[in-house]
Amino acid sequence: MNPDITRERENATFNVEKLTHILDGGIEKTKRRREIESLVISDPDFQSEDLNFLSRSERYDAAVKKSAQMILKLREYGISDPEEIYCYKSCVHRGRSEPLDLHLAMFLPTLLNQASPEQMETFFIPAWNLEIIGTYAQTEMGHGTHLRGLETTATYDPATQEFVLNSPTITSIKWWPGGLGKTSNHAIVLAQLHTQGKCHGLHAFIVPLRSMNTHIPLPGVVVGDIGPKFGFDEVDNGYLKLENVRIPRDHMLMKYAKVEADGTYVKPPSAKLTYGTMVFIRSMIVGEAGRALAKSCTIAIRYSSVRHQSEIRPGEPEPQIMDYQTQQYKLFPLLATAYAYKFVGQYMNQVYHRITGDISQGDFSELPELHALSAGLKAFTTWTASEGIEVCRMACGGHGYSRCSALPDIYVNFVPTCTYEGENTVMMLQTARFLIKSYRQASAGHQLSGIVSYLNESERRLQPQSVSSRPTVVNVNDLASLVEAYKLRAAKLVELAAKSIQQELQKRVSQEDAWNNSAIDLVRASDAHCHYVVVKLFAAKLGEIGDTGVHSVLSTLALLYALQGIQQHSGDFLQTGLLSVPQLSQVSQRLKELLAQLRPNAVALVDAFDYCDEMLNSVLGRYDGNVYEHMFEWARCSPLNKTEVHESYHKYLKPLQAKL
């Protein structure tokens, strides 16, 4: 054990294990998670060469091998709870995506939600037994977030009682679905349904892609891998071009909408039924933002405690780089953010499960709010977490660029969350639409409830109008007061966005153009709304914590989170008159004090995330802090070191020397 990191742990002022239980959601959950992790870690079938040393084809191969083993072992161990499956799977693939992801997370759940009882019988058990390996093919080369724009067609032919599927243009080729390229033999294809000469919009169809015997693509199916990407090397994201592919009528998912034998279309009872999955996945992503940032902070903070560099005081030994104020300022607010997002993720998960119950009872009343919240928070957390991962990586200096740090992988595997499941700017604008609608309702005298109740007229009248007209009352040392300030900032920025739209309308432009011409303000308002929600939920979480030591350190983190957000957006707080210039100086001063205050607990706070070395897979983030020996060992295994002299020397350099 590196003595520096041992000393860090000795200096901690709280019980790490207790904080771990809070993060896991209880002592029993921690225990079970560790059991599952050790099942995988001790399993010889899941040991493999470092993926960084393999070619892409080898990486895909290794991932398929592990996934196949995984399916067998999940059955062997009887692990069937979705959260436990997720935990086992994450551990097998070390948090990476894998070829069966969409089969497990989209194909099977979509069958469960949208297949009729007869279809369940036909497809679910074969899919459960991996005879049918499926993916979910929605996105097309030319069409992403805007679903109405999708071009793939499914035209019903009553003569044969079949649907004929086509990719009529190059832009209509399905593009991106994970597992589509090489792994899946079926796909749920989203296509525009045409029957009896009319288009009825997007519907889902089960399309066989490859022979069940030979795995060779079926006639009319042009399928393959879309090529190397920024990360996701193990996944065969694929393309799919359909050329007059015929499927039987009962291959349309018919739990809700139906096409009868003669081609008569039967509408689904509610369009909102498919919202749920989207909300669930976006909520999961919020938690994932917390996890990705927690991992990155674990690596960067542990490394900062064993890395010595430069000098603060001449003549003294090089200090731990964590002693530099600039290093603390890079890492500790991100540590606070990781905690914040983990707690927000827990909250979203709870709300989702509560509301799912209501939805199954036919009560959709809370869905719009949750939908808006999950969209905005998904964007807010993934943007900041992505940037944060890179800050952590660069805080490790040169070694953060080495693949052995794991930080490049964490980044490239996480950053796509900014784009998939709803592009972030589009998500922010969806939340803004809800906020503006709520603002207008409040302006019209309706009393709002829930998270947007701060937009109610009565509250708004209490708000400051400008820097001069009202003295500020924010107490920069009091978290509740800061939550209030974030709330008022959000209210003000929603109002500003609404006024911008109003001003545009006065120029006689259309509603739609007024919206687009105010989009910058709308995104800013959504951002402020989400920021308020995160600060509020972090503060609320503190109320649940009984242990004094843990409560104390989390309170410091929450205050740091709130104050750093104010410093970063100081313009907003000054502009809206919520803070005065002298208070802003207080914020800066207090921030520096909080950094110094957190310094002795930094390593313990990342230890509490409880990532074992096998899960982190980072030489820099090792629990024992013995970084350099293991980096050297890792490098010596690099493929370029398999021979002392690389063949290129004999092929090019030696002959060149002769010519010059």
Judged by DSSP in three states, 512 sits in helix
| Residue closer to a copy of itself, measured from CB, 24 or 45 | 45
Query: What's the distance, CA 144 to chain centroid?
Result: 18
Strand duo 265-266 + 186-195: pairing:
unpaired
Closest CA relative to residue 610, chosen from 304, 298, 290, 389: 298
645 binds a copy of itself (CB under 8 A): yes
State both tokens at 644: 């002392």
3-state secondary structure 47-71: CCCCHHHCCHHHHHHHHHHHHHHHH
CB of 12 to a copy of itself, least distance (A): 23
| Residue closer to a copy of itself, measured from CB, 260 or 387 | 387
CB-side exposure of 617: number of CA atoms within 13 Å? 21
State both tokens at 637: 């295994």
Which residues belong to the annotated binding site for FAD?
A: 139, 178
CB of 443 to a copy of itself, least distance (A): 21
How far is it, in rounded angstroms, from Cα 506 to Cα 374? 33
| Residue closer to a copy of itself, measured from CB, 121 or 633 | 633
Q: Which of 24, 53, 273, 463 binds a copy of itself (CB under 8 A)?
A: 53
324 binds a copy of itself (CB under 8 A): yes
Interacting positions 212-241 with a copy of itself (CB under 8 A): 214-217, 224-232, 236, 239
How far is it, in rounded angstroms, from Cα 592 to Cα 569? 17
49 binds a copy of itself (CB under 8 A): no
44 binds a copy of itself (CB under 8 A): no
32 binds a copy of itself (CB under 8 A): no
| Residue closer to a copy of itself, measured from CB, 53 or 275 | 53
Interacting positions 335-394 with a copy of itself (CB under 8 A): 387, 390, 393-394
Are 476 and 590 contacting, i.e. CB atoms less than 8 angstroms apart? yes
Closest CA relative to residue 451, chosen from 340, 567, 565, 533: 533
CB of 298 to a copy of itself, least distance (A): 19
Interacting positions 582-611 with a copy of itself (CB under 8 A): 584, 588, 591-592
CB of 514 to a copy of itself, least distance (A): 11
**Segment near a copy of itself (CB under 8 A); pick from 244-252, 256-264, 416-424, 473-481:** 416-424
CB of 397 to a copy of itself, least distance (A): 6
514 binds a copy of itself (CB under 8 A): no
CB-side exposure of 501: number of CA atoms within 13 Å? 21
Interacting positions 451-480 with a copy of itself (CB under 8 A): 466-467
CB of 576 to a copy of itself, least distance (A): 9
373-398 CB burial, b ≥16 within 10 A, e <16:
bbbbbbbbbbbbbbebbbbbbebbee
Interacting positions 624-643 with a copy of itself (CB under 8 A): 628-629, 631-632, 634-641
What mask, x for binding a copy of itself by CB under 8 A, covers residues 562 to 581? -----x-xxxxxxx-x---x
How far is it, in rounded angstroms, from Cα 18 to Cα 13? 12
| Residue closer to a copy of itself, measured from CB, 254 or 335 | 335
| Residue closer to a copy of itself, measured from CB, 76 or 544 | 76
**Segment near a copy of itself (CB under 8 A); pick from 36-44, 84-92, 180-188, 433-441:** 180-188
How far is it, in rounded angstroms, from Cα 619 to Cα 182? 33
How far is it, in rounded angstroms, from Cα 124 to Cα 529? 41
CB of 534 to a copy of itself, least distance (A): 20
Q: Which of 16, 36, 133, 247 binds a copy of itself (CB under 8 A)?
A: 133
CB of 109 to a copy of itself, least distance (A): 19
How far is it, in rounded angstroms, from Cα 113 to Cα 255? 8
CB of 359 to a copy of itself, least distance (A): 27
Q: Which residues contact 102 (CB under 8 A, 6 or more apart)?
A: 134, 135, 136, 177, 178, 179, 180, 184
27 binds a copy of itself (CB under 8 A): no
Interacting positions 522-551 with a copy of itself (CB under 8 A): 523
Interacting positions 147-176 with a copy of itself (CB under 8 A): 149, 170-171, 173, 175-176
Q: Which of 95, 345, 408, 565 binds a copy of itself (CB under 8 A)?
A: 408
| Residue closer to a copy of itself, measured from CB, 249 or 524 | 524
What region does 95 belong to: left with phi over 0, alpha with psi -120 to 50, or beta?
Answer: left
Interacting positions 245-304 with a copy of itself (CB under 8 A): none
CB atoms within 10 A of CB 506: 9
| Residue closer to a copy of itself, measured from CB, 112 or 312 | 312
**Segment near a copy of itself (CB under 8 A); pick from 246-254, 288-296, 409-417, 449-457:** 409-417
90 binds a copy of itself (CB under 8 A): no
How far is it, in rounded angstroms, from Cα 31 to Cα 516? 51
Q: Which of 83, 250, 260, 423 binds a copy of itself (CB under 8 A)?
A: 423
Q: Output the DSSP codes for 538-585.
A: HHHHHTT---HHHHHHHHHHHHHHHHHHHHHTHHHHHHTTSS-HHHHH
CB of 410 to a copy of itself, least distance (A): 11
Interacting positions 302-321 with a copy of itself (CB under 8 A): 307-314, 318
How far is it, in rounded angstroms, from Cα 484 to Cα 507? 35
Are 276 and 356 contacting, i.e. CB atoms less than 8 angstroms apart? yes
| Residue closer to a copy of itself, measured from CB, 247 or 497 | 497
Which residues belong to the annotated binding site?
A: 139, 178
Interacting positions 429-448 with a copy of itself (CB under 8 A): 429
Q: Is there a catalytic annotation at residue 421?
A: yes
How far is it, in rounded angstroms, from Cα 562 to Cα 587? 10
Total residues interacting with a copy of itself, rule: CB under 8 A: 143
83-111 CB burial, b ≥16 within 10 A, e <16:
ebbebbbbbbbbbbbbbbbbbbbbbbebb
Q: Which of 42, 160, 325, 502 binds a copy of itself (CB under 8 A)?
A: 325
Judged by DSSP in three states, 84 sits in helix
Closest CA relative to residue 543, chosen from 343, 376, 397: 343
Catalytic position from the list 98, 234, 288, 421: 421
Q: Which of 5, 46, 52, 431 binds a copy of itself (CB under 8 A)?
A: 52
How far is it, in rounded angstroms, from Cα 516 to Cα 497? 11
Which residues are marked as active site? 421
